[in-house]
Chain A
Amino acid sequence: MLRYLARKLLWTAPVLFAATTCAFLVLHLIPGDPVNLMLSGRPASEKVRENLRAKLGLNRPLPEQYAHFVLHAARGDFGQSFATGQPVSQVIAQQLPASLQLAGSGFLIGVAGGLLLGIAAGLYPNTVIDGIAMFIALVGISMPGYWTAMLLIYVFGLRLGWVPIVGSGLPVLILPSIVFGSYAIGNLARLVRSSIIDVRGEDYIRTARAKGLPERRVVLRHALRNALFPVVAMMGLLLGLFIGGGVITETVFARQGVGALLVTSILTKDYPVVQALILLTTAAYVFANVLVDLLYGVLDPRVRYG
């Protein structure tokens, strides 16, 4: 298992390096001068532009900029944001808590909702309960996130006034978490349902049934164990997605967060921030995958790492 882990981790290095290089090249393909974007349409003189270019190191040749970037990135230094002049690590660190809060609470809602629906549907397959649960799951994966968000804002924020739309603290997190979690609910519910149905067909359940043990409890115990797998997989996915998934949710709810930061940074060509974010997301994705693999092994001794 250690060897497996070592190999997996070794593999992440070229992936991350390639991702970074791609990001650097792609960013420089984007039309437009970052200095102009910084000035956001304000009529600044050539003098201003030259000073800024020198200050940001944009007057150096591309290979030199790349080398500079890679050497510093290897040490965890991503430079300064063009937009705010802050160190990039600080810019991202400021956005992370909001994103993690959203991903965390969204994940909780997704797991709770998904398990509930999935178990209900799995225990009573092909009944009205199953139908309703699976319908909700279908709605969860088919609703456009921004639309869900707008409907929730309209009904609970504007019409009923039950939840605050802006501000801080737990109440503000409610609606965005529901939106963020709704996708997980749908997918998880489906996976849990089918794993429960699988378990019911297994021999040991039949044996238990024959022995007169209360079937539901047996099924639930085994099924839940099985259901942990999709939950773990989902966790990995969400961990990797918290940046991407946040883009829409954060935009609609006008929240802070890494997703919103990504959109603005790409549009304003804030190279240092985008590069760091790409690296961060890719890393999160890759490590999440490794983590999920490992967790599988912990949960199921039958899984062997070759």
Chain B
Amino acid sequence: MVREPVAVPAHLAGAPPRRILARLARTRRYPIATLAALVLLLIAVAAVLAPAVSPYDPSAMATGPPLAPPGATHPFGTDRYGRDVLSRIVYGARISMPVGLLAVSFSAVLGSFLGLATGFLGGRVDAIGSGAIDIMLGFPPIMLALLIIAVLGVGLQNVVIAVGVGGIPRFARIVRGTAISIRENVYVEAGRALGASTGRLILRHVLPNAFPPIVVLATLYIGSAILDTSSLGFLGLGVQPPTPEWGTMLSEGREFMRYAPWLMFFPGMMVFVTVVAINLVGDHLRTALDPRLRAR
């Protein structure tokens, strides 16, 4: 479950936001990435409109016979309580997607802050900050997540934090690199010479430049955050039943694997499809933003 997003090339740093959009526009011709984006959009719409699109109440029991195989009335079958699996999966998107997004925002914001502080301020701040980053990197994300869950207990917010914390040092490292390279840049030195405050320099120069790698890393990281969330659910330490989180559903279905394989098949499929789509979009973003890769 521990996945390191593919590292973002360092030279990515430095592309101003306006150019990003232009590049993305130019690469519209990639049908697979477009398809992936559409799939994500579809899942997101389904999540938002869940009450309207799901055939049953996700927690209503005995909507059909228990452990009924997929069929006309229950396209994805029913679970041990006769709950409709399709409805639960649709509602599950309301958990997995936001948790993934929130966890990544959590790591991106805190990681960027740490990275900016260490990289731009340098000196003692950097020494201590880099040490902290190294130490955090020393903990495998799953171990961090388990420890955090152990301290905070299970539940939705805690899962966001547990999954998010593992990403902090990874964002910090990238942003720090960008910040260092920019600090030595001519225009920053010029700005400093002109008496611009550190905060202003960060806002005007460093953040815009660090933006592209953060976006790429974040996109790729959402996929792994969704995987981690569902993995925690699978271990029984994530979002709790009867909330229909995909990983939790899979774990509930495990006991019935022999009799009702659809209970483990469909939730896993959803995690897989979502993560594949995110990775495709992320890969595309990276290619689009990386001039070297695009040149090929």
Please tell me if the beta carbons of A19 and B139 are within 8 angstroms of each other in the complex. yes
Interface of B is mostly: helix
Could you tell me which residues of chain A, from 156 to 199, have a CB within 8 Å of some CB in chain B? Answer: 158, 183, 187, 190, 197
- Whether B44 sits at the interface, judged by CB under 8 Å, is no
Please tell me if the beta carbons of B147 and A266 are within 8 angstroms of each other in the complex. yes
Please tell me if the beta carbons of A147 and B271 are within 8 angstroms of each other in the complex. yes
Complex Cα–Cα for A247 and B146 (A): 10
Neighbour of B257 across the interface among A29, A144, A153, CB < 8 A: A153
B interface footprint on A268-284 (CB within 8 Å = 1, 0 otherwise): 01000000011001100
Q: Look across to chain A and name the residue whose beta carbon is closest to the beta carbon of B230.
A: A144
Residues of A within 8 A of B131 (CB): 14-15, 18
Interface size class of A (residues with CB under 8 A): 35 or more
29 intermolecular pairs with C-beta atoms under 8 Å apart: A18-B131, A22-B135, A31-B153, A142-B272, A144-B230, A144-B247, A145-B231, A146-B231, A146-B250, A150-B250, A150-B254, A151-B265, A151-B268, A183-B3, A197-B296, A241-B140, A243-B140, A244-B142, A247-B146, A247-B235, A248-B235, A263-B146, A263-B235, A266-B150, A267-B150, A281-B138, A281-B143, A282-B135, A282-B138
Please tell me if the beta carbons of B235 and A251 are within 8 angstroms of each other in the complex. yes
Q: Look across to chain B and name the residue whose beta carbon is closest to the beta carbon of A282.
A: B138
- Whether B98 sits at the interface, judged by CB under 8 Å, is no
Interface of A is mostly: helix
- Whether A88 sits at the interface, judged by CB under 8 Å, is no
- Whether A1 sits at the interface, judged by CB under 8 Å, is no
B interface footprint on A204-248 (CB within 8 Å = 1, 0 otherwise): 000000000000000000000000000000000100110111011
Please tell me if the beta carbons of A142 and B279 are within 8 angstroms of each other in the complex. yes
Please tell me if the beta carbons of B143 and A278 are within 8 angstroms of each other in the complex. yes
Please tell me if the beta carbons of A285 and B137 are within 8 angstroms of each other in the complex. yes
- Whether A93 sits at the interface, judged by CB under 8 Å, is no
- Whether A286 sits at the interface, judged by CB under 8 Å, is yes
Please tell me if the beta carbons of A147 and B268 are within 8 angstroms of each other in the complex. yes
Could you tell me which residues of chain A, from 39 to 73, have a CB within 8 Å of some CB in chain B? Answer: none
Seed contacts A142-B276, A150-B264; 13 additional CB < 8 Å A-B pairs: A15-B138, A22-B135, A26-B147, A143-B275, A144-B1, A144-B234, A144-B271, A146-B234, A147-B271, A245-B140, A247-B1, A248-B1, A278-B139
Residues of A within 8 A of B153 (CB): 31
Neighbour of B3 across the interface among A22, A141, A266, CB < 8 A: A141
A interface footprint on B1-37 (CB within 8 Å = 1, 0 otherwise): 1111010000000000000000000000000000000
Residues of B within 8 A of A30 (CB): 150-151
Please tell me if the beta carbons of A244 and B135 are within 8 angstroms of each other in the complex. no
- Whether A138 sits at the interface, judged by CB under 8 Å, is yes
Count of interface residues, chain B, beta-carbon cutoff 8 Å: 43
Q: Look across to chain A and name the residue whose beta carbon is closest to the beta carbon of B166.
A: A244
- Whether A9 sits at the interface, judged by CB under 8 Å, is no
- Whether B57 sits at the interface, judged by CB under 8 Å, is no
Neighbour of B2 across the interface among A22, A244, A266, CB < 8 A: A244
Q: Look across to chain B and name the residue whose beta carbon is closest to the beta carbon of A139.
A: B276
Please tell me if the beta carbons of A248 and B234 are within 8 angstroms of each other in the complex. yes
Please tell me if the beta carbons of B4 and A237 are within 8 angstroms of each other in the complex. yes
Q: Which 5 A-B residue pairs are closest in the complex by CB-CB distance?
A: A244-B140, A147-B268, A282-B138, A244-B142, A142-B275
Complex Cα–Cα for A19 and B131 (A): 11
Could you tell me which residues of chain B, from 123 to 140, have a CB within 8 Å of some CB in chain A? Answer: 131, 134-135, 137-140
Complex Cα–Cα for A241 and B4 (A): 11
Neighbour of B143 across the interface among A14, A251, A262, CB < 8 A: A262
Given A138-B276, A183-B3, A247-B235, A282-B139 contact (CB < 8 Å): yes
